[in-house]
Chains A and B, each alone.
Chain A
């Protein structure tokens, strides 16, 4: 691949002084930076819109019949709909149906899988204390194996009515006996267990706050109107 006739071309740059070298690299860095910032500014709104859109779609998928949702805040002690100073955004979304009735909560959570962090969102219904749907938001699990956590319908069926008490546990395929058990995917045990752990962690962190929030929203156990 060598082109002997071209070697003399380089000789004119042979004696480049230090200033020239610094200038070359400085200019390269400057223009690279310029290009990158332009690209970043141009694509950022699209990337954020994509993320927001995939989250929005996922909330609708995990809460059946959902017509609208609000992200809740965490004020240090409890979940709140009042987002303001001293309140940080919680990974919890309050879902309502078309008539404004609260139908459940969607929670995002993450956990290391086989390759990288798996991010997921799941729907939780505090009235039945069950997980009612689960979608994977981000995963780099092995195509054909680990990616069955979001491609395999049999595995996904685990999450349509999954009891969260006493704890969500993973069992081998075909051995599900109790409502709190998740049947793992054969050949993708690590990914399946990661999903189980991820749900368990999400529930450990947010089950009680959600139950408290629900009780406060709905003291008589009646349906709550949208504010």
Chain B
């Protein structure tokens, strides 16, 4: 294995320490655009996870075959292939969700989380760690999207997974399901995430000093 970390750490770092949305702040287009309901967030997260997993598998397998000068092009070809496949599969198997996500499925191609992981990890690691990394990052990305989606759907529509939560007296904050709501929610979650991370860092430094 090429990394000093254990297998578990390779997976877990995507969830928290190197979370693609809250720490790396990558892949903002789907993060802001399709998180207006929890179910859309979940579907987008799953589609991204699928593409990331299989792209990492191929890139890692072919890492010694792909010439350096054309690596980015090759990665894009690989990623675009899996995105097109996921697009067709969703349209065939779950047409309703495909209808909801619309053009954003095709836009997974340009999600920099995916290309970023190929270049930063899969291209220089064996298949096992590359897959763990992809799974960790994909799950981390899905989790982040779901967190944003839950907040936006609750406040903006008064429901969760299309089930009304607050009853009829609740006046939905329509702005939360519109584009500005994406920025508000992401901003607040980033604030919380960074505050927690900083507190942890301060605490651990105090502990090591003591």
**Interface set of A (CB-CB < 8 Å, partner B):** 1-3, 5-6, 9-10, 12-14, 16, 20-21, 24-25, 28-29, 32, 35-36, 39-40, 42-43, 46-47, 50, 54, 115-116, 138, 140, 142-145, 187
Dominant secondary structure at the A interface: helix
Tally of contact residues, B, Cβ under 8 A: 42
Q: Which residues of B contact A14 (CB under 8 A)?
A: 68
B92 partner, pick from A9, A35, A46, beta carbons under 8 A: A46
Please tell me which one of the listed residues A47, A54, A116 contacts residue B88 in the complex, with CB atoms under 8 A apart: A47
Residue contact B74 to A28, C-beta cutoff 8 Å? yes
Q: Answer whether A29 and B66 are a contact pair too, CB < 8 Å, given A116-B102, A140-B103, A143-B37.
A: no
* Contact A24/B65 with A3-B125, A144-B36, A144-B157 known, Cβ cut-off 8 Å: yes
Q: Which of B75-83, B183-191, B198-206 contacts A (4 or more CB under 8 A)?
A: B75-83
Quick check: A1 and B37 within 8 Å, CB to CB?
A: no
Q: What are the residues of chain B within 8 A of A16 when measuring CB–CB?
A: 67-69
30 of the cross-chain contacts (CB-CB < 8 Å) are: A1-B18, A2-B120, A3-B121, A3-B124, A6-B2, A9-B64, A16-B69, A20-B67, A21-B70, A24-B65, A24-B74, A25-B73, A28-B74, A28-B78, A42-B92, A43-B89, A43-B91, A47-B91, A50-B91, A115-B102, A116-B102, A140-B102, A140-B103, A143-B37, A143-B177, A144-B156, A144-B157, A144-B177, A145-B174, A187-B174
Dominant secondary structure at the B interface: helix
Is residue B93 contacting chain A, with contact meaning CB distance below 8 A?
yes
Q: How far is the CA of A140 from the CA of B106 in the complex (A)?
A: 15
CA distance A116 to B101 in the complex (A): 13
Chain B interfacial positions (CB closer than 8 Å to A): 2-3, 18, 36-37, 40, 63-70, 73-74, 77-78, 80-81, 84-85, 88-89, 91-93, 95, 99-100, 102-103, 120-121, 124-125, 156-157, 172, 174, 177-178
Which of the listed residues A10, A16, A187 has the most CB atoms from chain B within 10 Å of its own CB? A10
A138/B70 in contact, CB under 8 A: no
Chain A: minimal CB distance from B191 (Å): 24
**Chain A residue nearest to B66 in the complex (CB):** A24
In the assembled complex, which residues on chain B have CB atoms less than 8 Å from the CB atom of A12? 64
CB-CB under 8 A from B74, the residues of chain A are 24-25, 28
